Structure 1
Amino acid sequence: FREDPDVIMVGEMRDAETMSIAITAAETGHLVFATLHTNNASQTIDRIIDSFPASQQNQIRAQLAGSLLGIVSQRLIPRIDGGRVPAVEILISNPAVRNLIREGKTHQLDLVIDTGADDGMISLNKSLAGLVKSREISMENAEIYSLNSSDLRVMIQR
């Protein structure tokens, strides 16, 4: 009896071995979901790549660029009326994303996310701004959870 899953869920990826197995599974046609504790999409990619020795990082970048479908990052923000609400960042893999990953230019992913709404992408700041405008969260909490509060303020004032 042989197991052949179509979908694989990996708990938190904490080491290079787990990450390597997950990437290989994705390359062989499996849909892989995994969790990683990071603040945004670019940090997620950097954490995966940096988990490997420098001698393997170019190969991992190429594998990740070829197999990654997307990243959903969420921060749970205190609501004005109690409880918490997720602010999300969504990165969808497209040719620009794949090239930036392959070339090690993950610091430029934020710009691709900011301009990728037509592809289904949303930045954390855009999500936070929407929650402030709909009065679900306070401006103070939005600024605490934002990775760039000056951009957030500009976005909310528009």
Structure 2
Amino acid sequence: MSAVLRLRDTETWAHERAKREYPWVAEARKHAPGLDDFLKWAHGLGASRIDLLTGHRATLTVHGRNRYATMDPTTSLDLKQIVDHVYGADGSARVLISLQLDTAYSVTLNRRESLRFRINIFPVQTMRGPGMNLVLRPIPTLPKSLDEQRVEQEIRDTNLLRSGMVLTGGSTGSGKTTLQFGLIHERLMDPTVSCNISTGEQPIEFLFDSLKPPNGNRITQTEIRPPNMTPPLFVEGSMRRENSDLVLGECRDGPTMEAAINCAITGGKLSTTIHADNGPLMIQRSIALCPRAERDNLVSALAQSLRFVINQRLLDRVGGGRVAVREYLTFHQDLRRQLMRTESELWPDLVAQAIESDGQSYAVAIRKALEDGLITEQTANEAWRRDA
């Protein structure tokens, strides 16, 4: 068995040097036999991350471990062709003037099945000059169910909210989007719920176009692609469509946070994600993202609109894989009023205290996972030390 594993760990893409049959890209935006075959092979190994870098061999991350995927380095021409194929004719030109790009890409397996990947394309510097780095991460066709994700009832109850902001946070790769869209999927398919959901994502990850809700619930998904479609423009347009729920894929800058807050205070429900390591830091980062010129008004509106905050981490699971642990807090009316009476720089401490008394802290979540036999004592101790 160990010999088989060692062979598989050192295996590289078999068609790498069959350039005639498997060029990375044969015709941009239409046919990429090499890229598609490479991605199918990587997916078959269980790769959670695929990394292409100018002048370097491609690498994969499989079950948390890095390994080489090719024998030869990817050239500048290889990456130019790949970027222009997955993004558009001006993709590589945009990267070489120091713009980063986000998009998604699909590979067809058969008439009914396809693989989808989220792609981040980033400008880098190499010994030979400007280069590019592509990181591809697979997107499941549908998110895992809330039962499979072991989602707590308090979090599930956010699907009953009719207004305000639900903020989901965590680091890159912590499963924020999987949790967010697991909740959306359950809401759409609930025959007792009537909802019209509009999402603005960069890129679209879980594509729900094939869903058939039992009672006519509807979701429309729009890709945010500046300058023609920005988060503020998406929110402005969506507010004219009588949606019950608005979803912004991520709050990563001032205009997006401003648009999210302005939407949340108009009476609808707004869900979004933010990169931060725990609940208090999510609040701190939300405040910091508010544009300075409007910060006082926006911070006040944020205090009034917040309804629920979730932060998620993934820990090594007994037997392999990962398991989610979560910190969360309901922002009930008394807490929102307390925020309004408190200087915003003190909010993180106030939220930390509220999580301990009224929500679920990471310390409690980790202890539950340990008691349920999902993680080892060593993993639990390492996770507890993270917040020590």
Aligned counterpart in structure 2 of residue 110 of structure 1, from 345, 352, 372 = 352
Q: How far apart, in 2, do the equivalents of 1:20 and 1:54 lie?
A: 11
Q: Structure 1: any 5+ residue segments left out of the alignment? A: 150-158
Q: CA 1:122 to 1:97, structure 2 compared with 1: closer, same or farther past 3 Å?
A: farther
Alignment of 1:67 onto 2:305: yes
Which position in structure 2 is the counterpart of 1:6?
244
| Structure 1 residue 54, shift from structure 2 partner | 4.2
Q: Secondary structure at the match of 2:275?
A: coil
Which position in structure 1 is the counterpart of 2:294?
56
Q: How far apart, in 1, do the equivalents of 2:349 and 2:374 lie?
A: 30
Q: CA 1:139 to 1:57, structure 2 compared with 1: closer, same or farther past 3 Å?
A: farther
Provide Cα deviations, 1:27-73, integer angstroms capped at 9, x if missing partner. 00111110111111111111111113445333222111100101111
Which position in structure 1 is the counterpart of 2:363?
125
Q: Secondary structure at the match of 1:69?
A: strand
Q: Secondary structure at the match of 1:143?
A: helix
Range that drifts further, 13-22 or 50-59: 50-59
Give the counterpart letter for 1:99 in structure 2: Q
Which position in structure 2 is the counterpart of 1:16?
254
Structure with greater strand share of residues: 2
Which position in structure 1 is the counterpart of 2:271?
33
Q: Structure 2: any 5+ residue segments left out of the alignment? A: 1-239
Q: How far apart, in 2, do the equivalents of 1:97 and 1:83 lie?
A: 38
Q: CA 1:77 to 1:61, structure 2 compared with 1: closer, same or farther past 3 Å?
A: same
Is the 1:13–1:36 contact (alpha carbons within 8 Å) kept by the matching residues of 2? yes
Alignment of 1:143 onto 2:385: no
Is the 2:311–2:328 contact (alpha carbons within 8 Å) kept by the matching residues of 1? yes
Range that drifts further, 47-56 or 27-36: 47-56
| Structure 1 residue 142, shift from structure 2 partner | 2.6
Q: Secondary structure at the match of 2:309?
A: strand
Q: Secondary structure at the match of 1:36?
A: strand
| Structure 1 residue 140, shift from structure 2 partner | 2.6
Q: CA 1:76 to 1:52, structure 2 compared with 1: closer, same or farther past 3 Å?
A: same
Q: How far apart, in 1, do the equivalents of 2:264 and 2:272 lie?
A: 11
Is the 2:261–2:305 contact (alpha carbons within 8 Å) kept by the matching residues of 1? yes
User: Matched residues, percent identical?
Assistant: 28
TM-score using structure 2 length: 0.35
When the two structures are aligned, how many residues end up with a matched partner?
A: 144
Q: CA 1:97 to 1:31, structure 2 compared with 1: closer, same or farther past 3 Å?
A: same
Range that drifts further, 46-55 or 59-68: 46-55
Q: CA 1:140 to 1:97, structure 2 compared with 1: closer, same or farther past 3 Å?
A: farther
Q: How far apart, in 2, do the equivalents of 1:77 and 1:10 lie?
A: 26
Provide Cα deviations, 1:69-93, integer angstroms capped at 9, x if missing partner. 0111110111112111110011110
Give the counterpart letter for 2:343 in structure 1: E
Range that drifts further, 96-105 or 19-28: 96-105
* Cα-Cα RMSD: 1.9
Is the 1:22–1:32 contact (alpha carbons within 8 Å) kept by the matching residues of 2? yes
| Structure 1 residue 124, shift from structure 2 partner | 1.3
Structure with max Cα Rg: 2
Is the 1:132–1:142 contact (alpha carbons within 8 Å) kept by the matching residues of 2? yes
Structure with greater helix share of residues: 1
Is the 1:12–1:35 contact (alpha carbons within 8 Å) kept by the matching residues of 2? yes
Give the counterpart letter for 2:377 in structure 1: M
